[in-house]
A and B are shown apart, each in its own frame.
Chain A
Amino acid sequence: MNFIRTPQSTLSLPATPLKLANKLTLIHQHIPGCGVAAVDVWVKAGSIREIDQWSGMAHFLEHMIFKGTDRILPGQFDYAIEGRGGMTNAATSYDYAHYFMTLAAQDLVDTLPYLAELLLHAAIPDEEFVREREVVFEEIYQTYDSPDCLAFQALIEGVYQRHPYGRPILGTEELLKERSPAEMRSFHRAHYQPENMTVVLVGDLDQDEAIALVERSFRDFPSPGDCPQHEAEAEPPMTDIRRQELRLPRLEQARLMMAWMGPGIDPLVQEKRDDVLPWNRFSPEHHLDPIKDACGLDLLSATLAEGRTSRLVQELREERQLVQEVSSGFSLQQESSLFTITAWLDAENLERVEALICDRFSHLITARINESELERSKRLLCSDHAFSTETPSQIAGLYGYYHTLADLETAIAYPQWIQEFTTEDLQNLASQYLSPYRYAAVVVKPL
């Protein structure tokens, strides 16, 4: 790719990233007159921070954060936010956990200190730990009744054989029963530290007020203490097709899921195998900018299966009528991203559809896509970006996500970078990442 990222100075940055004295990052955007403020606190404390035996800890901790501190009772925070007409919730993924709330701007001064108190000083009371664990078990049982969840878990286990990306975020009942509140406290103290945390504040609050409020709220972090750290293990590279078959009860329709490993923002430790691996054959300049690669893979994903005129939807759903639905997705991750294709179809068409998809991937490598296809995909992604930045909470989420995984600039410059891709760039990316001979596949069939 023969372009460089647009330097920040030429962008109008609507948001200001600030590093506070204690190394906490604050991203602020003032939207005067909207009446609302959204806060989204992103913590680099997702499930990849867990050692294997602690699988599920990061997510369980996210539940326990709301169980209060020495000064806040369980549930008291939720009541305060919702009783003011606001909303709050949280979510945990592989690379992060984040905690968000939206409420009237004038209520922020009274409530943000309490969110900070929860995040910094979670008490994780013993009896609440045992009780909330039952809730997490219920969350796990719910996924066991979902064929798509079960298939996706099998798929990522196929892709990542050693890396924590292959483990379920929720963990398992068996492992969680072995954990103690003291272990969770040590995980919390170790990871909920200012250098791992980004507070995004978007809405009807000016910058001076925002800085003062965040500085006042997020201070006195506890000392990190000791916590077992996950040691990266070399991931065996994908050298062929890793195939699994699941048989599930009450299944009305088969599934085909396929996955390829994409670039990580921080490169994954790979086993050295110099013989045939395509990524080793590529010259180093292709690895310089994983974020650019990620933008290109978003374009390829849209070209393949976003909308009725995309290649796979048009051919497999509309023309050959072999699938109920087909979709593709690219998810950007810290250490290794994931490119997936999913089809819902009759079991009798599984092999044929997989072969067709592989054949169409070969085409992406041997021939450039049409200019009109590229243009269409660019417009789709840029519109999606515009459509997802209408409200303070959407904006806060977008900034926090990109800042946590990459940088704030990506959240803002994304539409411009998308515009710079050529059909040749996409061809190169397809040949680098989307091999029809090296991927993980899961098929799900009725019992």
Chain B
Amino acid sequence: MRCVSGSSRAKDFLTVTSTIALPQNRTIHRRILNNGITVLVIENPSADIIAARLFLKAGTRWESREKAGLSNLLSAVLTKGTERLSSLDIAERVESIGASLGTDAASDYFLLSLKTVSSDFADMLSLAAELMRSPTFPEAEVGLEQRLTLQAIRSQQEQPFTVAFDRLRQAMYGQHPYALSGLGTEETVSQLTRQDLQEYYETHFRPDNLVISIAGRITPDEAVALVEESFGDWSAGSKQRPILNFPAIAGQLNGTSPTEHRVTTPQETQQSIVMLGYLAPSLQAHGTMTDYAALKLLNTYLGNGLSSRLFVELREKRGLAYEVSAFYPTRLNTSHFVTYMGTAPVNTAIALDGLKTEIERLRTTPLTSEELQTAKNKLLGQYALGKQTNSQLAQIFGWYETLELGVEFDTRFQEEVAAVTAETAQSAALRCFETAYISLLGPAQLISE
């Protein structure tokens, strides 16, 4: 063993000299077809696999409150019938060759993803085109998936974390679509009809609203030719895309003075869930980029990994939790910065104090240069590790394109993170961490006060 005891060696060990440098110079080929489809191709011959992500600028953000859950229901029924194929035919086409094909309705986009060994890719892409272009939403399948969704909504109530987060999100977002989980509510989902799916489909499923991102063992020319073949004669029609008009979010950013909203959910659980969150900048609005990068960094600093501030202070030093973390997702509209932990019910109040103290510390105390540098290395290193598989590559670039940030955001993001200073981080913390939203779930007498 070469390591020697004593602080000097230990210090060397801690001196961070490098960060992960994956092949950064991947060329991303971008082509816009005549009908408006944006095609991205990332050639990566390392494995005999091709992944594709087909993004539509749709998702739960485009739902009205009365139709909450519509995107999700559509994602479940999309693969269950086309003009030529039944639900079973479609599943057989995919499963008989061992491919994977799935759909997902996220907050800011609608996604169809597929992954195949390279030789099966053309077949699966043409199936994907058929699903996107001529789904029939059979009445019986709509009914089945609707019933299953209603059950899934009820089942979510079994999970303390999900319940606590639902309450937090509703307190934060009021009438805005981000207030609800993608599944919708029992009231809205039970009212959805096949006609609703058809209208949503006609509004959003059109070539000029589609980004197809392909990564794997395929050349850009081959990939574009395959897309042309299956999607090239899809025409957008003459309808205009709808303009979104959102309800205001209750406690918008930059409120006047620090305040606190608290929701409690009494349940006789073995563990309490403690959440402390804040509304946080979107990526869309101009002028929020600096705060966005700074808060991504602070989120990493607080909640990412075994050496993160919350993990060390609340778990390692005080044994208050097994799970303690933070998240700040990238969103087109106002996002949220949430810290949370699960703790023995008797520790509920101590845990909440612990989270508050750490957030307050970011407002009052600038990060040291070592803390700042470590958080940057961590964020950028994990960002690099998140771009290894073909699915990851297709996802991240397709997503940037769909959010209208462009594929160059990949580089811009890393530059912005590198440019964060202790001062910009602290001023972002001061702006963001004003109006606190708290959600507590646990035994009644321990969460009330």
Contacts and interface: CB of A to CB of B under 8 A. Distances in A.
Interface of A: 33-36, 66, 70-76, 78-89, 102-104, 106-107, 110, 113-114, 116-117, 131-139, 141-142, 144-147, 216-217, 219-220, 249-253, 307-310, 314, 317-318, 321, 324, 344, 372, 375-376, 378-384, 386-387, 389-391
B87 A308 contact: yes
Interface stretch (B3-11, B200-208, B255-263, B325-333): B3-11
Interface residues of B, number: 79
Contacts of B100: 383, 387
| A-B pairs, 3 with minimum CB distance | A85-B381, A379-B98, A134-B319
A102 to B, nearest CB: 6
A307 B377 CA distance: 40
A350 to B, nearest CB: 15
Contacts of A74: 316
Contacts of A251: 158
Contact of B20 (A104, A135, A314, A390): A104
A321 B147 contact: yes
A309 B155 CA distance: 25
Given A252-B155, A309-B92, A324-B151, A83 B306 contact: no
A35 B95 contact: no
Nearest to B88: A309
Contacts of B91: 307-309
Contacts of B1: 113, 116-117, 216-217, 219-220
Nearest to B318: A131
B316 A386 contact: no
Contacts of B382: 85, 87
Interface in B110-156: 115-117, 144, 147-148, 151-152, 154-155
Interface stretch (B244-252, B264-272, B274-282): B264-272
A223 B126 CA distance: 62
Given A142-B342, A145-B270, A253-B151, A82 B18 contact: no
Contact of A141 (B155, B271, B389): B271
Contact of A78 (B21, B305, B344): B305
Contacts of A250: 157-158, 267
Given A103-B20, A324-B152, A252 B158 contact: yes
B157 A75 contact: no
B384 interface: yes
Given A36-B385, A252-B157, A386-B117, A85 B96 contact: no
A376 B95 CA distance: 6
B316 A75 contact: yes
B253 to A, nearest CB: 30
Contacts of B323: 138, 142
Contact of B18 (A70, A104, A132, A391): A104
Contacts of A116: 1
A372 B92 CA distance: 10
A114 B4 CA distance: 11
Interface of B: 1-5, 10, 13-14, 16-23, 46-49, 87-88, 91-92, 94-100, 115-117, 144, 147-148, 151-152, 154-155, 157-160, 267-271, 304-308, 312, 315-323, 342-344, 374, 377-378, 380-382, 384-385, 388-390
Given A34-B22, A75-B316, A309-B88, A135 B307 contact: no
A321 B321 CA distance: 40
Contacts of A114: 3, 13
A140 to B, nearest CB: 8
Given A71-B4, A387-B49, A390-B390, 14 more contacts: A71-B5, A75-B312, A80-B13, A82-B306, A83-B378, A85-B382, A103-B20, A104-B19, A104-B20, A138-B321, A138-B323, A142-B342, A253-B158, A390-B389
Contacts of A142: 270-271, 322-323, 342
A253 B156 CA distance: 10
A85 B19 contact: yes
A62 B378 CA distance: 23
Given A82-B307, A390-B49, A36 B22 contact: yes
A252 B154 contact: yes
B158 A144 contact: no
A81 B49 CA distance: 30
A66 B306 contact: yes
A72 B87 CA distance: 58
B131 to A, nearest CB: 14
Contact of B305 (A71, A87, A219, A307): A87
B319 A383 contact: no
A84 B49 contact: no
Nearest to A346: B151
Given A85-B381, A135-B322, A308-B87, A110 B13 contact: yes
A106 B17 CA distance: 10
Contacts of B317: 131
Contacts of A146: 159
B14 A83 contact: yes
B158 A147 contact: yes
B321 A382 contact: no
A272 B13 CA distance: 57
Contacts of A379: 95-98
A241 B221 CA distance: 60
Nearest to B22: A35
Given A86-B20, A252-B155, A307-B91, A76 B14 contact: yes
Contacts of A144: 270-271
B16 A138 contact: no
B10 A73 contact: yes
B115 A387 contact: yes
B155 A324 contact: yes
A105 B416 CA distance: 25
5 contacts: A75-B306, A79-B14, A79-B374, A85-B381, A390-B390
A70 B6 CA distance: 10
